[in-house]
């Protein structure tokens, strides 16, 4: 019944109605009440997303008993600051490599025309891999590159000991490689439509106007791909920055990443009275994500303008 | 010396011969249309000239140099596509100045030149707009200005009017003709629309299945079609019995002879379509039931010509 | 692009395939071969392969329990999400098009709040005012619905855009259909691809989600796997692989359905995955 109401209230053209009008349909809403149908949506998001998120900030800034500085302040000092720097570095690096390698993969796959199923297969696989994260992915990499991993053993056979070289699946280099497993496919999925959006008539126009291939890429191709590249970078950054499960499983909970740190506070593995440090760390995460996603929205709005 | 010359150019895609021994010479300043149904090879010929396709055999002479093997960006041929060829991230002025920019022309010079070109297509007040903010007809005029800004040896137009509305189409068509005359730029115009080709061209090259059927002035192609294909493709034509053979006569070269009992053909009127100054009358001939269409001046249609009436038809004596 | 040969792309793709296949193959070997890596050699490469580990895990009652929790949560998440998002998206397109931008921006908000931050916020708020809520397994449902909201909205939005909704609704009503009938007999069948697409993606998200479940201490499938890694590692990895294969099948199904329907719905913009 609720849905019926929603539809009939939306009838904006009185002549468009028919002989089977319900009393509701005869009742036309003034324009300013149009958003009324969005109340359940906004209510749901408010209750289960916005309220918990905003409460974090409230909890983070409330005064602490045995500390002079606020939790928000403490969350970006000392070890916590190092954690943030570590996480941001990891996210930047995996985003950058993901953008580069994923775009290259998209360009390469689009060049292969012959077996027609190949492109579809790669897209399907990328869809799975981009959403792969968490426990199974960590398992796979432990089996491959862990100290007892198959690949570790194979590389060892050729005389290179990863362990002696300082490589651990749970350290910076290790997590970077594991994250690339979902970052590259995600970028691939972003770039395939972007490359396909480059019309042949643009490169041909450029050539007929005297532009050498490099000039086409410099002045036309790259600027047109910039929104996708930049948007993809921001998305990949946020993807890595908010990832938790993979890093947690790789390091058995010992990683220096901010999300893993937050867990300590929630589980009470810390000195009492510092509860709101967990809230503060989470609040800072939201602030960083807010900046990232605002940038993303901005880039996307710009790109939509061209696509008309 | 011709401005652009194709000599025995052939191209096949797999088993399909897209172009066979294509030979034509365009004089300086001439506008030549390649006319034919889709798949006749006209676009292939244009793209080979532009350097976007390679030919299997033959040569293309620009002046006296063979440009086969020269990459597209070194050929100096301006090209206009069917649609969507303006760079969407550049404003109109920067689009027009693009060729000058990649050619190394300094900023102030190319800005001035872009303004001149926009003036030429009468869009000087739109220079700051983005492509998506102007109409399709305006976009094609900008594409023309952009292609002409670098002073190309030849202008290549690939169905530039097909994506436009009927009225705008005529406007842009006239614009192309005017630019061709004013600037004296040799132009190759690909189209499947015979009206377009007729109204714009110095010469028309009618093509079918990768082969040239006829090259000639619009008048010549229309009045003296070299092959049955040309006769049928360019304008509409009737096939009427005469003795043991059939003759091809255009609808406007037939006259109605209502009271002439000894008319060359007789038949029943099946349809009358009023198209303004002219009226099209469809007739089914009595002797072999073939359909014939006659184009008569509307003011000469009287009450004797009505659906179902039997009338006579004669070939117009000129 | 045509100025570069075709050797480099092929080489690069080959390297990529090795990178993506190696972990999965290693995982399969670990799960199904009873030989430690240390003593693996040429002579025993094909020996002692078995699926016993996986079978032991599948027989574990704890596994059955976690699977049933995950499936129930997945079912209700899909239900809640569709009941919330279908009317919302239709309303935006029919009655309040000016609000489309706002709604779209709001649906991207879940990306702004990382799951770990969300769950911290949730326990900071709900634990004190509604402890009974967090005690239930079904407390996961609204938060999973939030996680799946971005691509659900996008999928529906694209589907509806391709429909010419206004005309469809007016045509149905002019034929005398009530609003309910329009919804049930006209709109939903036409949005089938979008709905299935969104539902399948939501299921994969729910079956893989670890962060929120782990911090709210819910015994879902990923939680079980993480815990089984210690006690029965072969079985845990086998299970991980099994879920991976099932996910791949689910994804392939989605893409087949999408392709089948793309004749009547222009579905090219319904990106797979969670690309917003």
Render pLDDT for C187-218 as a digit per residue (tens, 0 to 9): 888 888 888 888 988 998 898 899 999 989 99
Single out the residue in B231, B262, B295 at which a domain terminates.
B231
Confidence grade of residue A247 (pLDDT, cut at 50, 70, 90) = confident
User: How many separate domains does chain B show?
Assistant: 2
Report, as an integer, the average pLDDT of B249-259. Answer: 86
Average model confidence (pLDDT) for chain C? Answer: 84
Query: How far is the alpha carbon of C91 from chain A, nearest alpha carbon, in Å?
Result: 6
Same domain? B63 vs B195: yes
Hey, are the CB atoms on A51 and C236 less than 8 Å from each other?
A: no
Q: What is the pLDDT of residue A6?
A: 25
Give me the interface pTM, i.e. the ipTM: 0.86
Same domain? B227 vs B245: no
Query: In terms of Cα–Cα distance, which of B30, B12, B8 is closest to B200?
Result: B30
The helix or strand, by DSSP H or E, that contains position C66, with its residue range, turns out to be: helix C61-94
Hey, are the CB atoms on A111 and C274 less than 8 Å from each other?
A: no
Hey, are the CB atoms on A208 and B98 less than 8 Å from each other?
A: no
- Chain A residues closer than 8 Å to B150 by CB: 209-210
Q: How far, rounded to the nearest angstrom, does the alpha carbon of residue B144 sit from its chain's CA centroid?
A: 16
Q: What is the pLDDT of residue C33?
A: 87
Average model confidence (pLDDT) for chain A? Answer: 81
Same domain? B64 vs B159: yes
Same domain? B200 vs B280: no
Query: How far is the alpha carbon of C62 from chain A, nearest alpha carbon, in Å?
Result: 17
pLDDT of B288 strictly over 90: no
Hey, are the CB atoms on A211 and B147 less than 8 Å from each other?
A: no
- Chain B residues closer than 8 Å to A204 by CB: 50, 52, 72, 79, 81, 85
- Interface size, chain A vs chain B, as Cβ–Cβ contacts under 8 Å: 84
CATH of the domain at B180: 3.40.50.300
Report, as an integer, the average pLDDT of A278-287. Answer: 92
How far apart are alpha carbons C243 and C261 in whole angstroms? 27
Q: Domains in chain A and their CATH numbers?
A: 57-137+166-307 (1.10.3720.10)
Q: Are C170 and C120 in contact (CB under 8 A)?
A: no
Query: In terms of Cα–Cα distance, which of A238, A93, A241 is closest to A180?
Result: A93
**Is A245 near chain C, with CB under 8 Å?**
yes
**Is A214 near chain B, with CB under 8 Å?**
no
Range of the domain at B307: 236-315
pLDDT of B115 strictly over 60: yes
Overall CATH class of domain C53-261 = mainly alpha
Mutation choice for A interface testing from C76, C117, C209, C268 by most A CBs within 10 A: C117
pLDDT of B185 strictly over 50: yes
Q: What percent of chain A has pLDDT over 70?
A: 82
Query: In terms of Cα–Cα distance, which of B186, B189, B173 is closest to B45?
Result: B189
Hey, are the CB atoms on A306 and B85 less than 8 Å from each other?
A: no
Report, as an integer, the average pLDDT of C92-97. Answer: 84
Hey, are the CB atoms on B72 and A207 less than 8 Å from each other?
A: yes
Confidence grade of residue A29 (pLDDT, cut at 50, 70, 90) = very low
- Chain B residues closer than 8 Å to A202 by CB: 85, 87
For residue A226, what is the nearest residue in chain B, using CA coordinates? Answer: B89
pLDDT of B259 strictly over 60: yes
**Is A301 near chain B, with CB under 8 Å?**
no
Which part of chain C is CATH 1.10.3720.10? 53-261
SS (H, E, C) B99-141: HHHHCCCCHHHHHHHHHHHHHHCCCHHHCCCCHHHCCHHHHHH
Q: What percent of chain C has pLDDT over 70?
A: 92
Hey, are the CB atoms on A136 and C241 less than 8 Å from each other?
A: yes
Least confident of A41-45, A120-124, B34-38: A120-124
Q: What is the pLDDT of residue A163?
A: 80
**Region of residue B151 (phi > 0: left; psi between -120 and 50: alpha; otherwise: beta):** left
For residue A225, what is the nearest residue in chain B, using CA coordinates? Answer: B89
CATH of the domain at B241: 2.40.50.100
Average model confidence (pLDDT) for chain B? Answer: 90
pLDDT of A23 strictly over 70: no
Q: What is the pLDDT of residue A69?
A: 66
Same domain? B259 vs B289: yes
The helix or strand, by DSSP H or E, that contains position B198, with its residue range, turns out to be: helix B194-200
Report, as an integer, the average pLDDT of A164-180. Answer: 89
- Restricting to A residues 53-82, those with a Cβ less than 8 Å away from any Cβ of C are 53, 55-56, 59
Hey, are the CB atoms on A134 and C85 less than 8 Å from each other?
A: no
* β B254-257/B265-275 pair status: unpaired
- Interface size, chain A vs chain C, as Cβ–Cβ contacts under 8 Å: 314
* β B77-80/B65-66 pair status: unpaired
Least confident of A33-37, A164-168, C110-114, C192-196: A33-37
Confidence grade of residue B28 (pLDDT, cut at 50, 70, 90) = very high
Hey, are the CB atoms on B78 and A209 less than 8 Å from each other?
A: yes
Q: Are C47 and C164 in contact (CB under 8 A)?
A: no
Same domain? B47 vs B141: yes
Report, as an integer, the average pLDDT of A73-83. Answer: 86
| Partner-chain residue, chosen from C38, C106, C244, that has the shortest CB–CB distance to A136 | C244
Query: How far is the alpha carbon of A68 from chain C, nearest alpha carbon, in Å?
Result: 22
- Chain B residues closer than 8 Å to A207 by CB: 50-52, 71-73
Hey, are the CB atoms on A25 and C179 less than 8 Å from each other?
A: yes
pLDDT of A5 strictly over 80: no
Same domain? B155 vs B38: yes
Burial of B226 (0-12, 13-18, 19+ CB in 10 A): middle
Q: Using the 8-state DSSP alphabet, how is residue B28 labeled?
A: T
- Chain A residues closer than 8 Å to C24 by CB: 140
**Is C211 near chain A, with CB under 8 Å?**
yes
How far apart are alpha carbons C27 and C228 in whole angstroms? 15
pLDDT of C153 strictly over 90: yes
Give CA angle at B163 (B157, B167), nearest 5°: 100
Q: Are B284 and B222 in contact (CB under 8 A)?
A: no
Confidence grade of residue A40 (pLDDT, cut at 50, 70, 90) = very high
Same domain? B168 vs B290: no
Q: What is the pLDDT of residue A4?
A: 24
Q: Using the 8-state DSSP alphabet, how is residue B208 labeled?
A: E
**Is A248 near chain C, with CB under 8 Å?**
yes
Single out the residue in B178, B205, B231 at which a domain terminates.
B231
Single out the residue in B197, B231, B265 at which a domain terminates.
B231
Report, as an integer, the average pLDDT of B222-245. Answer: 88
Cα torsion through B185, B191, B193, B197, rounded to 10: 30
For residue A217, what is the nearest residue in chain B, using CA coordinates? Answer: B102
For residue A220, what is the nearest residue in chain B, using CA coordinates? Answer: B87
Same domain? B148 vs B181: yes
């Amino acid at each position: 019944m609720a849905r019926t109401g929603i539809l009939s209230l939306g009838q904006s053209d009185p002549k468009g109605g028919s002989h089977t009008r319900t009393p509701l349909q005869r009742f036309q809403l003034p324009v300013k009440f149009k958003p009324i149908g969005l109340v359940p949506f906004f209510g749901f998001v408010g209750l289960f997303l916005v309220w918990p998120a905003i409460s974090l900030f409230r909890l983070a800034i409330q005064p602490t008993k045995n500390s002079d500085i606020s939790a928000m302040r403490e969350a970006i000092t000392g070890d916590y600051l190092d954690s943030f720097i570590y996480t941001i570095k990891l996210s930047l690096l995996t985003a950058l490599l993901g953008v580069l390698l994923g775009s290259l993969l998209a360009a390469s796959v689009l060049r292969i025309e012959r077996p027609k199923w190949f492109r579809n297969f790669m897209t399907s696989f990328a869809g799975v891999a981009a959403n792969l994260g968490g426990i199974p992915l960590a398992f796979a990499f432990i089996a491959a590159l862990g100290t007892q991993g198959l690949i570790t053993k194979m590389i060892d056979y050729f005389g290179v000991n990863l362990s002696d070289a300082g490589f651990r699946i749970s350290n910076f280099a290790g997590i970077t490689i594991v994250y690339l497993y979902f970052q590259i496919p995600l970028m691939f999925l972003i770039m395939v439509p972007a490359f396909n959006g480059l019309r042949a008539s643009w490169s041909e126009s450029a050539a007929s106007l005297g532009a050498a291939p490099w000039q086409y890429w410099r002045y036309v191709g790259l600027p047109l791909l910039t929104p996708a590249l930049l948007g993809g970078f921001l998305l990949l950054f946020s993807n890595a920055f908010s990832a938790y499960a993979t890093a947690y499983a790789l390091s058995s909970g010992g990683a220096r990443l901010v999300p893993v740190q937050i867990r300590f506070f929630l589980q009470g593995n810390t000195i009492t009275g510092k509860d709101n440090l967990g809230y503060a760390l989470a609040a800072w995460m939201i602030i960083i994500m807010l900046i990232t996603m605002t940038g993303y929205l901005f880039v996307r709005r710009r790109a939509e303008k061209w696509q008309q | 010396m011709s401005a652009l010359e194709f000599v025995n150019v052939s191209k096949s895609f797999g088993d399909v011969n897209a172009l066979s021994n294509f030979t034509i010479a365009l004089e300086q300043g001439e506008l030549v249309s390649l006319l034919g149904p889709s798949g006749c090879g006209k676009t292939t010929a244009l793209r080979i000239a532009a350097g976007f396709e390679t030919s299997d055999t033959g040569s293309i002479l620009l002046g006296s140099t063979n440009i086969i093997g020269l990459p597209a960006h070194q050929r100096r041929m301006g090209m206009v596509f069917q649609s969507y060829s303006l760079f969407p991230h550049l404003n109109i002025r920067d689009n027009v100045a693009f060729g000058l920019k990649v050619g190394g022309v300094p900023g102030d010079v190319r800005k001035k030149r872009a303004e001149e070109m926009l003036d030429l297509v009468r869009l000087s007040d739109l220079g700051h707009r983005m492509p998506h903010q102007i109409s399709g007809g305006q976009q094609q005029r900008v594409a023309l200005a952009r292609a002409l800004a670098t002073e190309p040896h030849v202008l290549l137009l690939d169905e530039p009017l097909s994506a436009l509305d009927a009225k705008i189409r005529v406007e842009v068509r006239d614009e192309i003709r005017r630019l061709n005359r004013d600037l004296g730029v040799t132009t190759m115009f690909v189209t499947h629309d015979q009206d377009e080709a007729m109204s714009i061209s110095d010469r028309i090259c009618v093509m079918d299945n990768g082969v040239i059927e006829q090259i000639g002035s619009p008048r010549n192609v229309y009045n003296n079609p070299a092959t049955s294909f040309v006769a049928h493709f360019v304008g509409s034509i009737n096939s009427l019995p005469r003795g043991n053979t059939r003759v091809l006569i255009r609808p406007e070269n037939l006259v109605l002879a209502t009271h002439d009992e000894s008319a060359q053909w007789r038949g029943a009127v099946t349809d009358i379509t009023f198209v303004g100054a002219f009226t099209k009358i469809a007739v089914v001939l009595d002797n072999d039931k073939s359909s014939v269409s006659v184009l008569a001046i509307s003011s000469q249609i009287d009450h004797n010509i009505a659906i179902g009436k039997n009338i006579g038809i004669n070939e117009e004596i000129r | 692009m045509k100025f570069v040969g075709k050797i480099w792309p092929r080489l690069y793709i080959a390297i990529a395939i090795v990178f993506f296949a190696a972990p999965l193959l290693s995982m399969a070997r670990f799960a199904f071969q009873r030989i430690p890596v240390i003593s693996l050699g040429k002579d025993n490469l094909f020996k002692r392969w078995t699926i016993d580990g996986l079978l032991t895990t599948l027989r574990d009652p704890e596994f059955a329990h976690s699977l049933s929790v995950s499936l129930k949560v997945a079912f209700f998440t899909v239900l809640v999400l569709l009941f919330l998002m279908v009317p919302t998206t239709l309303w935006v397109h029919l009655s309040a098009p000016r609000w489309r931008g706002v709604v779209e921006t709001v649906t991207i908000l879940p990306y702004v709040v990382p799951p770990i931050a969300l769950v911290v916020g949730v326990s900071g708020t709900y634990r004190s005012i509604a402890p009974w809520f967090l005690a239930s397994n079904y407390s996961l449902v609204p938060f999973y619905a939030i996680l799946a909201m971005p691509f659900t909205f996008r999928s529906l939005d694209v589907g509806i855009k391709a429909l010419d909704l206004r005309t469809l609704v007016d045509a149905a009503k002019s034929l005398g259909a009530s609003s309910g009938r329009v919804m049930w007999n006209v709109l939903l069948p036409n949005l089938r691809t979008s709905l299935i697409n969104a539902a399948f993606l939501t299921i994969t998200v729910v079956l893989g989600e670890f962060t929120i479940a782990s911090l709210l201490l819910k015994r879902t499938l990923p939680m079980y796997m993480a815990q089984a890694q210690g006690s029965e590692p072969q079985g845990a990895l086998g299970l991980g692989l099994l879920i991976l294969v099932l996910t791949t099948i689910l994804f392939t199904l989605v893409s087949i359905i999408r392709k089948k329907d793309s004749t009547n719905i222009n579905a090219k913009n319904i990106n797979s995955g969670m690309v917003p």
